[in-house]
Structure 1
Amino acid sequence: MPYLLLALGLATLVVTGDLLVRGAVGLSNRMGIPPLVIGLTVVAFGTSAPELVVSLSAAADGAPGLSIGNVVGSNITNILFVLGVPALFFSINCKQTGLRRSATFMVFVSVLLIILSLDRIVSFTDGLLLVSLLAGYLIYNGFEAMRMRKKGQAIEEIVEEIDDAPDDTRKITIYLIIGIIGLPLGGKLTTDSALDIASMMGIAESAVGLSIVALGTSLPEFAAGMAAALRRQSAVAIGNAVGSNIFNILSIVGVTSMIIPLKVEENFLAFDYWVMLLISIGILPLIFLHRNIGKVEGVIMASLYVIYLLIVFEVGHEMFNGSF
């Protein structure tokens, strides 16, 4: 039953999060807000809503391992799984405008998270710093996008565009209500069932956050990556993954720690943080050299993801039994 409830919780997060984004975009369109601003704010935050709700719910329930594990696991999943699996079918090119800058910033915020966690807690002040960096990142990208538009250059949004947002008031209202009510319910259901699964499997809560929950909350990014690859818009796929990783650290860890300070378990500083950092650095040569992520790279990335999950479950079992 906990597995079914977890699946239901994750499905609720994905569906209601999508409805909330579409409703918010529809409302923004009705209010005359430019699409660029919508893309950089409403859609960007909305696609990270499942991770944010789960992290807040877990922190409120006294499960910081699940909260941080969801973010770190999602970032690892976004690179190795969300990019690796589509690359098995379609080559992903790394020539997106501004991708070098965004990928470098992704590495920077990953290093910053490690530094802020060295005292084993991400505090309110740390969260304020992360949220401030997010605001600066959004403002910079907004000005850069407007500058490129004035020059007549093509613009690649840092997040996927929502093309079928509702345009009538009744539908917008329904989408927003379902999203606002459904997201917290999905987050609570996901958190409770994940903790039950951790207890049943005899593994630490952080292991569930790093694996099952992280994979589930990354499904929107995976779906977007597969759809982009099918449409031969592979630049959107990698831009979506990199942008999501930046938002996961700056918005989710930032906002959550400003509300509830997050204790950092030893396993994150000993292993998981470094995996996140190494794979973030690992894709930089492909991006800076404009190399494609092809089938070979896809096999390597997908294989590394499977190996990582096996290690997570093994370490999680040792932590649960107090031998780590």
Structure 2
Amino acid sequence: MNIVFILIGLTLLVVGGEFLVRSSVGLSFKLNLSKMVIGLTVVSFATSAPELLVSLQAALDGFSDISLGNIMGSNIANIGLVLGTTAVISNLEIDSDFYKFNWPVMMIFSLALYFFLMNGEDIDRLEGAALFIGLILYLIFLVIRSRKEKNVVTEEVDENLKKVSWFKIIIWLIIGGAALYWGSQLLVDGSVALARTLGVSERVISVTMIAIGTSVPELAASVIAALKKERALSLGNLIGSNIFNIASVLGLTALIKPIVMQSQEVLSKDIYWMLGFSFILIPLAFLPKKLIMGRIKGIFILGAYAVFLYFTIFK
């Protein structure tokens, strides 16, 4: 039954996230925000809502390792699973924006998380505020920069949502909020119960099963696009998702309820895996074939992710 609860919880989070994105974009168009601003800010915040609700629910229930494991596991899965699988199917081109801007920002936030946990084994409200303020500054810089340059990557925005009525926006918002709330409750409760049944920590479940579950929608969309030979995946959007996971999800969660680390493995293992997967993107971007993420690199990343899962679950 615990696995059923987890699967239902993940399904509700996916459905809730989709409705929240639609209602947020529709509302943004009603407020006359530009498509560029909506893509850079509104959609990015809305797509991080499932992770935020899970992390917040876990922190409020006293399972902070689920909050940390969920985010670190999601960031690892975004690179190891989503990027690796997509690169195996179809070559991905890497633009200069990746190594000049997006990757350094991701590493700054990742290292900030590492030092916050090293300093007291928690993320207090002040550190949460620092992460969130850093995100706001990042977004302001992105908006200013995108007005000067036309090639800045943003999240996809469905322009059909311009025509959506206020009634639909409100209904979608209610459905999205309810699904996210109940989905996060079921997911956290099911994960804690499953961990106790299997005799493993909540951290192991969150950094593997929950993280993979929350990455499935992005993985499915990227694989379908790659198989159709369409634009499969934007590395900029993937990096942006990792930035939002740390700065928005952990930042906001810590502002509401400080996140206290419960398991030493978070600091001695998980954080190093996350930093390793983040760092390895730079040498992979340039070696051996410059600015192309091809099949061999995809197999390497997927293999590394399999090793991560093996050591996390069995060791």
TM-score for both structures, normalised by structure 2: 0.93
What is the deviation of 1:288?
5.8
Alpha-carbon separation, structure 2, partners of 1:96 and 1:163: 28
> Structure 2 matches for 1:141-290, cutoff 5 A?
141-148=142-149, 153-157=150-154, 159-165=155-161, 167-229=164-226, 230-234=228-232, 236-264=233-261, 265-287=263-285, 290=290
Equivalent residue number for residue 63 of structure 2: 63
Equivalent residue number for residue 36 of structure 1: 36
- Give the 3 Å change call, closer, same or farther, for CA 202–164 of structure 1 in structure 2: farther
Whichever residue aligns with residue 247 of structure 1, its letter is F
Equivalent residue number for residue 319 of structure 1: none
Contact 1:51 1:71 survives alignment (8 Å) = yes
**Unaligned ranges ≥5, structure 1:** 316-324
**Unaligned ranges ≥5, structure 2:** none
1:184-223 per-position Cα deviation (integer Å, ceiling 9, x unaligned): 1111111101111111111000001100001111223323
Contact 1:66 1:209 survives alignment (8 Å) = yes
Alpha-carbon separation, structure 2, partners of 1:43 and 1:223: 18
Q: Counterpart of 1:68 in 2: which secondary structure?
A: helix
Asked if 1:134 is matched to 2:130, the reply is no
What is the deviation of 1:255?
0.6
Identity of aligned residues (%): 35
Alpha-carbon separation, structure 2, partners of 1:76 and 1:98: 18
Alpha-carbon separation, structure 2, partners of 1:286 and 1:301: 9
Equivalent residue number for residue 298 of structure 2: 298
Equivalent residue number for residue 321 of structure 1: none
Whichever residue aligns with residue 278 of structure 2, its letter is S
Contact 1:28 1:38 survives alignment (8 Å) = yes
Asked if 1:75 is matched to 2:75, the reply is yes
Higher mean displacement: 96-105 or 11-20: 96-105
Contact 2:89 2:223 survives alignment (8 Å) = no
Contact 2:285 2:293 survives alignment (8 Å) = no
Contact 1:225 1:238 survives alignment (8 Å) = no
1:44-66 per-position Cα deviation (integer Å, ceiling 9, x unaligned): 01111111110001111110111
Higher mean displacement: 296-305 or 137-146: 296-305
Whichever residue aligns with residue 276 of structure 1, its letter is M
- Give the 3 Å change call, closer, same or farther, for CA 8–55 of structure 1 in structure 2: same
Whichever residue aligns with residue 244 of structure 2, its letter is F
What is the deviation of 1:245?
0.4
Asked if 1:90 is matched to 2:90, the reply is yes
Higher mean displacement: 104-113 or 129-138: 104-113
User: Root-mean-square deviation (CA), in Å?
Assistant: 1.7
Q: Counterpart of 1:313 in 2: which secondary structure?
A: helix
Asked if 1:105 is matched to 2:105, the reply is yes
What is the deviation of 1:227?
4.5
Contact 1:47 1:220 survives alignment (8 Å) = no
What is the deviation of 1:228?
4.6
Whichever residue aligns with residue 142 of structure 1, its letter is V
TM-score for both structures, normalised by structure 1: 0.91
- Give the 3 Å change call, closer, same or farther, for CA 204–23 of structure 1 in structure 2: same
